[in-house]
Chains A and B, each alone.
Chain A
Amino acid sequence: MFNISKTICGVAVASVLMVGQALAGPYDDYADTTLVVNFPAHPHYDAVRKILPEFTKETGIEVEVDQLPYLKMRERQTLELGQDEGDYDLIAYVVFSKADYVYADQLENLARYFMNPKLSDPAYDADDLIDGYVYNIGFAGGNKGYLQGKTGSLFGIPYGSETSILGYRKDIFEKHGLEVPQTYDQMLDIACKIPELEPGMGGLSSRAASGHHASHAFLLHLAPLGGRVFDDSWNPIVNNAEGVQAANALKTIVDCGPEGASSFGFGEALGSFLAGDTAMFLDTTVVAGQIDDPAKSKVVGKVGWALHPEGTRRGSQTGGFGIGIPKNAENKEAAFLLMQWLTSKKGDKLVALAGGNPSRFSTHEDADVNAKFPHMATFGEALKHADPDWRPIIPVWGKINADLGTTLSKVLTEDLDVQEALDGVAERATAIMEEAGYYTWNK
């Protein structure tokens, strides 16, 4: 009897062990794999690097990070993704690279992975990801090829989502009894008042340097003021009244901005706000961490946050990065596991607490995150107004973007006429679009 029970016990233990083996954790097969990932030099991904040791501890998968400035990162990826076998297992891509990579068939369609019961985490809760960003960054093949639509599918997951937000100096606004601007008119008005009220201080610091920066700053104003780059049949309309208004807004901001504003890149624009040389800052949400860092900032605790002011509509930026798996990667499944871990509820919260930009609704509402970063609620609100059609994400955008940026920079520094400048951009854009075949169906 005693013996039998002992035997039963033994069998039970053995069977538990066997079941245990059959139910090996999802990560066991990939322990000791080393993933090579390509990330941008960006505050969100700095935060990601802080939480990666946690992933390695939990899964046994090592991660080697190659971090580059994002334009360099894009160049590197162009080269790596074009080869038969690439170095990178997981890449973070800038939102506008989506078009190039998907069109060139260089990113894995994620359906296969989410269907795989061994890889896909049932608790992942994809509905909690912020819709606008999933469509903007991860989705391809829908309406216009880059928007949400019935024909689209998922190639990446937003990670490091940004939107535009207005930061303002609470102390300065209080001192002069200024209202936090709700509309564009109010904002431009205050931006030009500041230099009079506070001699030596600029109104709003914006990026404006030639190329990508100037173009980005212009787009920031284009959507809220009701403009678009293309109409529905791909004809450039940057040079319409709204476009001109947006360019004029940019010019006003730069003219009333801090010293040297016309050559500011993002870093200089932020630097000027951090040094206390400007009263307002209208750009991406990633800056919050640095503004609260006493080693870098002289305005700790003096900054309030508000939604991107309204023009004819709300339309804040959709931007930032997504992560995807290259077609030529070596360890695709392990890469998917990392991707899933990073964008899971747990990973999203961890990265938010480390100073990153969460991509989930739940994280924006999370009590711990809000306790640590009180601005998170405003940021979550801003994300709801993010405009998925903020810029056209098509393969030729890079070229049009570069031209737009250089031309606008001439408007800012060489007093080129706004209308004339934008007409030129539209004309060259038409030629580029024509060559790329966007007008084939008009004939």
Chain B
Amino acid sequence: MALEEKQQHPGFYAILTMLIIMAVGPILMMLINSFKLDVDIISGTSGLLFMPTIQNYETALCDILPYEPEHLDFCALKFGGAFINSLIIALVSTLLTLVIGCMAAYALVRFRFMGRDTASATTLMVRMVPPAVLLVPVFGLWNNEFCIDKASWLGSLIRDNFGGRGDVCLAGTHSGIILIYVAMNLPFVIWILQSFIVQVPRQLEEAARMDGAGPFQVFFKVVLPLIKPGLAAAAIFTFRIAWNEYLLASALSDRDTKTVPILIVNNMSEFNVEWGVIMATGMLLAIPPIIFTLFASRQIITGMTAGAVKG
């Protein structure tokens, strides 16, 4: 801060430019390559001299295009369907995590359940658990234990209405993946929201209660609107994890519930490395987080720093 009035050294700007290129360059390169044909990619003319084509995106999205792309014999990559799966899973799990997390955070702060320390410690503990550690038990439980017998009334109801065979298990359903994402994200969301709820003045709530509002009304009408910035930060982080996660989704999804990351990893098949299409699918997966970052970077930074710096 001592330097704020000084003119910056030109070398400083050079370093700055280099940093920006390093941070954004690889992503731009993916964007450019996603518009190239494979022949252009392997031919080695690394520059910008090529005929841009949307063929790669057509290949990726062939199952939801209204027309049949000419260069394809059949639609192999059902990217559109996976995109919809990813959206359902990410949006629903974000919404659930926020509602449930908010309520829990509110209870912890206002009703003085456990100290904030206990909550922080739990958060840290849960954050410590790598998804790979959850892989084995979640795979076993979701496939074998968290099941409804297909002969029971609920089981047969589901089988009659939704088709499929065998016992009704959590594995292979959207709900199964959503459940684990909600559980994984809850501690973090509770932790972040706590720091925002603490700042809501008590008098406001008491005033509302005087007017005859019940605890739920107070929560939804008074508290929630006041912690919007916190909610935004929490939402972005939850969405990001649910949108990007690969390992657990790949263990839990079946052919109808595959998410985009699974499709991308699967598509790097050894027999046919089609860089153009891979880059296009990567770009499609990256677009939502990039949009969030560009429009809500302040909330993201709040979310990131809330824990470490203030907590």
CA distance A195 to B74 in the complex (A): 40
Are the C-beta atoms of B165 and A50 separated by less than 8 Å?
A: no
A246 within 8 A of B: no
For B37, B143, B271, the residue with the greatest tally of chain A CB atoms inside 10 Å of its CB is: B271
Which among B38-46, B82-90, B96-104, B282-290 touches the partner chain?
A: B38-46
CA distance A68 to B271 in the complex (A): 12
A248 within 8 A of B: no
Which among A84-92, A303-311, A409-417 touches the partner chain?
A: A84-92
Chain A residues with CB under 8 A of B6: none
Pick the residue among A49, A66, A296 that contacts B255 (CB under 8 A): A66
Which residues of A260-288 are within 8 A (CB) of B?
A: 265-268, 270-271, 274-275, 286
Interface residues on A, range: 20 to 34
Chain A residues with CB under 8 A of B255: 66, 87
Instruction: Known contacts A84-B166, A85-B166; decide if A295 and B42 are in contact (CB<8 Å).
Output: no
A67 within 8 A of B: yes
Chain B residues with CB under 8 A of A295: 37-39
A321 smallest CB distance to B (angstroms): 12
Are the C-beta atoms of B165 and A87 separated by less than 8 Å?
A: yes
Are the C-beta atoms of A275 and B42 separated by less than 8 Å?
A: yes
Chain B residues with CB under 8 A of A43: 271-272
Chain A residues with CB under 8 A of B167: 84
CA distance A201 to B39 in the complex (A): 19
Number of interface residues of B (CB under 8 A): 24
Are the C-beta atoms of B272 and A86 separated by less than 8 Å?
A: no
CA distance A213 to B270 in the complex (A): 10
Are the C-beta atoms of A41 and B38 separated by less than 8 Å?
A: no
Instruction: Known contacts A66-B255, A296-B39; decide if A49 and B165 are in contact (CB<8 Å).
Output: no
- Closest A residue by C-beta to B275: A271
Are the C-beta atoms of A49 and B74 separated by less than 8 Å?
A: yes
- Say whether chain A's binding surface is mostly helix, strand, loop, or mixed: mixed
Are the C-beta atoms of A41 and B165 separated by less than 8 Å?
A: no
Chain A residues with CB under 8 A of B165: 85-87, 330
Which residues of A203-225 are within 8 A (CB) of B?
A: 213
A298 within 8 A of B: yes
CA distance A268 to B269 in the complex (A): 11
CA distance A298 to B41 in the complex (A): 12
Instruction: Known contacts A87-B254, A298-B43; decide if A290 and B272 are in contact (CB<8 Å).
Output: yes
Are the C-beta atoms of B42 and A41 separated by less than 8 Å?
A: no
Are the C-beta atoms of A50 and B38 separated by less than 8 Å?
A: no
Pick the residue among B39, B74, B166, B266 that contacts A72 (CB under 8 A): B266
CA distance A213 to B39 in the complex (A): 25
B73 within 8 A of A: yes
B296 within 8 A of A: no
Which residues of B158-191 are within 8 A (CB) of A?
A: 164-167
Which residues of A26-82 are within 8 A (CB) of B?
A: 41-43, 46, 49-50, 66-69, 72, 79
B154 within 8 A of A: no
Chain B residues with CB under 8 A of A84: 166-167
CA distance A268 to B274 in the complex (A): 11
Are the C-beta atoms of B42 and A79 separated by less than 8 Å?
A: no
B141 within 8 A of A: no
Are the C-beta atoms of B166 and A83 separated by less than 8 Å?
A: yes
B59 smallest CB distance to A (angstroms): 12
A427 smallest CB distance to B (angstroms): 28
Pick the residue among B39, B166, B266 that contacts A69 (CB under 8 A): B266
CA distance A282 to B274 in the complex (A): 21
What 15 additional pairs, Cβ within 8 angstroms, besides A66-B255, A274-B42, A296-B39?
A41-B76, A41-B269, A41-B272, A50-B73, A50-B74, A72-B266, A79-B143, A265-B270, A266-B271, A267-B268, A267-B270, A271-B42, A271-B273, A286-B271, A298-B43
Can you sample 22 A-B contacts with CB below 8 Å?
A: A41-B76, A42-B269, A42-B271, A43-B271, A49-B73, A66-B255, A68-B266, A79-B143, A84-B167, A87-B164, A87-B165, A87-B254, A267-B272, A267-B273, A271-B42, A274-B42, A286-B271, A290-B272, A296-B39, A296-B274, A298-B43, A330-B165
